[in-house]
């Protein structure tokens, strides 16, 4: 999780905070009131649970940036092992910029060409994950889930009518993103 990821925190179906980790920490700490299990923190885009032990919140220190040093800035590059056949290594060696640059170009090209399908799948997973985590015990959950997967938008909204407002509101955001991605 990055420091700039948007998080959303709920306590018993009520949204208590939305923002970056730094922006929500005071509200989460106050809402937990010693019971960390009472608060659910999720990535607002993917609905992935974010485990934030309250002792992880540190007092805010002034932002004292380190002086810039000469050389290349840290790019966030991660080195990992890749297993390829000799003919693949030979092809990579002949590419401009070397194997790493060629692999980066190939990955970016694949991400662009498969972007729409990947976005649809990611938005569907985010809706499903959020519904299971936050609405799994609510009335009409199963019917809402079936309506979602059958793309029956009005039926799904009718099933959600009795759910807490904050859960419905965030789910509406996720659904708009999903149904928008399906059209794109």
The pLDDT-based confidence of 184 (bands split at 50, 70, 90) is very low
Predicted pLDDT of residue 30: 86
CA–CA separation, 108 and 69 (whole Å): 30
The answer to whether 135 and 163 have CB atoms below 8 angstroms apart is yes
pLDDT digits (tens, 9 = 90+) for 105-127: 988 888 777 777 888 888 999 99
Predicted pLDDT of residue 43: 93
CA–CA separation, 11 and 171 (whole Å): 16
The pLDDT-based confidence of 182 (bands split at 50, 70, 90) is low
Domain boundaries, the chain: 7-56, 115-183
Question: Which tokens belong to 80?
Answer: 């990992």
The answer to whether 100 and 81 have CB atoms below 8 angstroms apart is no
Task: Identify the residue with better confidence: 36 or 91.
Answer: 91
The pLDDT-based confidence of 56 (bands split at 50, 70, 90) is low
The DSSP element (H or E) to which 149 belongs, if any, is: helix 141-149
């Amino acid at each position: 999780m990055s420091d700039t990821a948007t998080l959303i925190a709920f306590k018993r179906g009520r949204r208590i905070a939305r923002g970056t980790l730094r922006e929500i920490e005071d509200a989460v700490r106050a809402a937990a009131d010693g019971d960390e299990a009472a608060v659910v923190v999720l990535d607002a885009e993917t609905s992935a649970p974010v485990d934030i032990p309250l002792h992880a919140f540190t007092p805010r220190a002034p932002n004292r940036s380190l002086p810039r040093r000469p050389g290349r800035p840290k790019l966030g590059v991660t080195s990992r092992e890749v297993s390829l056949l000799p003919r693949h290594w030979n092809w990579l060696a002949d590419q401009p910029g070397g194997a790493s640059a060629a692999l980066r170009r190939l990955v970016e090209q694949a991400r662009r060409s498969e972007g729409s399908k990947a976005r649809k799948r990611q938005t569907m997973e985010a809706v499903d994950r959020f519904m299971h985590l936050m609405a799994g015990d609510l009335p009409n959950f199963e019917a809402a889930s079936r309506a979602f997967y059958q793309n029956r938008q009005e039926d799904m909204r009718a099933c959600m009518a009795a759910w807490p407002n904050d859960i419905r509101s965030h789910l509406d955001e996720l659904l708009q993103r999903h149904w928008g991605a399906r059209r794109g």
